[in-house]
Amino acid sequence: MEFEEIEDEDTYVLRELDRLRDELSPRTASPTSRPQPEVIPPSEGERTPLPAGAPSWGQPSPYLEERLIIARSAVSELVAQSRGVGRSLEGLRNALATIDQELDRASAEIGFLRADQWEDQDVKDVAWRVPSPHSPPLGHPGPAVVPSVVPPSRAASTIAGSFEDFTLERYNHTIGDLHARRRALGWGTVVAAAGISAVLLFLTLQAHEPVPVIWLAFLPLVWMIPVPFFVAAFRGTQRVLRRNRLELPE
């Protein structure tokens, strides 16, 4: 709500109150407008007695109730608007704090880039390519806790795997575990494969089945086609884990 609107609201309330006062003025005359009758101060809970000899004022205006209702609703609206203004001010304060923190990070980032000795000319070259004012800034030192300009995307109730969970720590933990069990995977595969093959070979030999017609020999050959692929995959997996530490600096 704009300030002018609040002001209008205020004026409206005051106008309504004036009307009320005009309506009621004969009964609740102000001390400045008429002499104060002698009144005994009421005890607590007692109603104020009318002064003796009070004139008869006739019937109240038929609009009195309506005006009172309007005035009450306007007052409640005014209270609500005041709270809104309070919240807006709080939002502004947060935004200012964010700007302040981002400026600190930008300074730190400039320090980081300068420490890396990028050539000034290069910076000029790509200056037009740095993110638009709407873009969040480049990387900054240390995890931030400020409210994000980009709406947090716990992607519309995704069942699993929100990108906010994909942290460096989790990656290093996962990849570290994999590295740690590389030998076990290698030897485990060899031992388990040998065991299964031995059992199958034993069963095949124990079956004492007659030698089938020779043309059937192509069937096991078909079966063997992917074997080199699997062997290469096993070897490659072991090699890539042995040669490369895939962890990243945190």
Partner 1 sequence: MRAPTVLFQVTAIGKNSRALDATARSVLHWLRYTPKLGFRYLLWLVVEPEGYWSAPTVYESLERAGARIVVVPEDYQTPLGTKGKARALQYASDLRGRLGLSMPSVWVYHQDEETCVGQDTLTGISDFVRDGRALLGAGIILYPIDWTGTPSHIQELTRSYDDLRVLDSMTMPGNPTAGFHGSHFVVRADVEDSVGWDSRGYAPSEDLMFEIRVRARYGSVFGILKGFAYEKGAFSLHDQLRQRRRWMHGVIFAVLHCRELPLRRRLTVAYSGLSWISALPSVIVLIASVELRYGPLLVATSVFTGFIWVSMILAYVEGYRLHSHYLGRKVSAPRFLANGLVGALVDVVAPWYALVTRPTLSDYIPKDRPSDAGAGGIAERSRGGSTRA
Our finding on whether 180 is near partner 1 (CB under 8 A) is no
The amino acid at 88? S
Position among 19, 67, 140, 179 found at the interface with partner 1 (CB under 8 A): 140
Q: Does an H or E element contain 204, and which?
A: helix 182-207
Angstrom CA distances, 150 to 60, 137, 143, 146, 147, stand at: 60, 11, 15, 11, 9
Our finding on whether 94 is near partner 1 (CB under 8 A) is no
Our finding on whether 40 is near partner 1 (CB under 8 A) is no
Burial class (CB in 10 A: 0-12, 13-18, 19+), 81: middle
User: Are the CB atoms for 68 and 13 separated by under 8 Å?
Assistant: no
Residues of span 108-127 touching partner 1 by CB under 8 A: 112-113, 116-119, 122-123, 125-126
Our finding on whether 147 is near partner 1 (CB under 8 A) is no
Residues of span 194-233 touching partner 1 by CB under 8 A: 194-201, 204-205, 207, 209-212, 216-217, 219-220, 222-233
Our finding on whether 35 is near partner 1 (CB under 8 A) is no
With respect to partner 1, which residue has the nearer C-beta, 40 or 156?
A: 156
Q: How far is CA 196 from the centre of its chain?
A: 52
The residue to which tokens 């980081």 are assigned: 112
Our finding on whether 184 is near partner 1 (CB under 8 A) is no
Our finding on whether 11 is near partner 1 (CB under 8 A) is no
Position among 7, 84, 167, 183 found at the interface with partner 1 (CB under 8 A): 167
What token pair was written down for 195? 């065991």
